[in-house]
């Protein structure tokens, strides 16, 4: 059974409660009896968002999942809707919850609705840092570096990452 990695982000409402509610929703769809890993929660400045967007809280979780990547995408989108996510026309607009699939075991998926591993994972400190908390030695399909090495090599100026909760 594949292990799946998922990034969680929130920058509207009670951000910490939103992340925790999303994690509870994901625990419900995780394969029973598999380990559910949760990284630290970081406060991060918004990246590629509209001006004056509030800061995000971000984390990453990993768990075992029985099903297809498309099944997982549908289930995560349902969780987003249940938690008040409204998808509007503005890209990267503030949101109560954002659930992004990062990887699905060793699968490489490229279709109109899903790209795995996530195509921008190497560029995002707000994803790599929490992922390195729980899986520093993970090498994603099609990549030749560990998550910890990708984080070390990250050359970007995303601003601060501040731990706010466990």
Which are the catalytic amino acids? 85, 95, 98, 100
pLDDT (0 to 100) of residue 157: 61
pTM given for the model: 0.91
- 148-156's contacts with Cβ under 8 Å and 24+ in sequence apart are 150/121, 150/122, 151/125, 154/122, 154/123, 154/125, 154/128, 156/123, 156/125
Helix (H, G, I), strand (E, B) or coil at 70: helix
Q: Look at 25-34, 39-48, 80-89, 116-125 and tell me which has the smallest mean pLDDT.
A: 80-89
Say whether pLDDT at 156 is over 90: no
DSSP class of 135: -
- Over residues 49-69, the mean pLDDT reads 92
pLDDT digits (tens, 9 = 90+) for 87-123: 766 666 678 899 999 999 999 999 989 999 999 999 8
Q: What is the mean pLDDT of residues 125-136?
A: 95
Answer yes or no: is pLDDT of 43 > 90: yes
Q: Average pLDDT of 62-76?
A: 97
Q: How many structural domains is the chain composed of? A: 1
Q: Give the CATH number for residue 40.
A: 3.30.70.560
60: containing domain = 3-165
């Amino acid at each position: 059974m594949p292990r799946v990695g998922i990034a969680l982000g929130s920058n509207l409402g009670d951000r910490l409660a939103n992340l925790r509610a999303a994690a509870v929703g994901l625990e419900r769809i995780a394969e029973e009896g598999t380990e559910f890993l949760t990284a630290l929660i970081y406060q991060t400045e918004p990246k590629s968002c509209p001006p004056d967007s509030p800061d995000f809280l971000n984390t990453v979780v990993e768990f075992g999942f029985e099903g297809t990547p498309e099944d997982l995408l549908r289930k995560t989108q349902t969780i987003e809707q249940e938690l008040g996510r409204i998808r509007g026309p503005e890209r990267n607009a503030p949101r109560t919850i954002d659930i992004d699939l990062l990887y699905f075991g060793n699968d490489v998926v490229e279709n109109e609705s899903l790209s795995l591993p996530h195509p921008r994972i190497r560029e995002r400190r707000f994803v790599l840092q929490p992922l390195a908390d729980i899986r520093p030695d993970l090498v994603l399909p099609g990549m030749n570096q560990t998550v910890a090495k990708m984080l070390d090599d990250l050359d970007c100026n995303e601003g601060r990452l501040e731990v706010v909760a466990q």
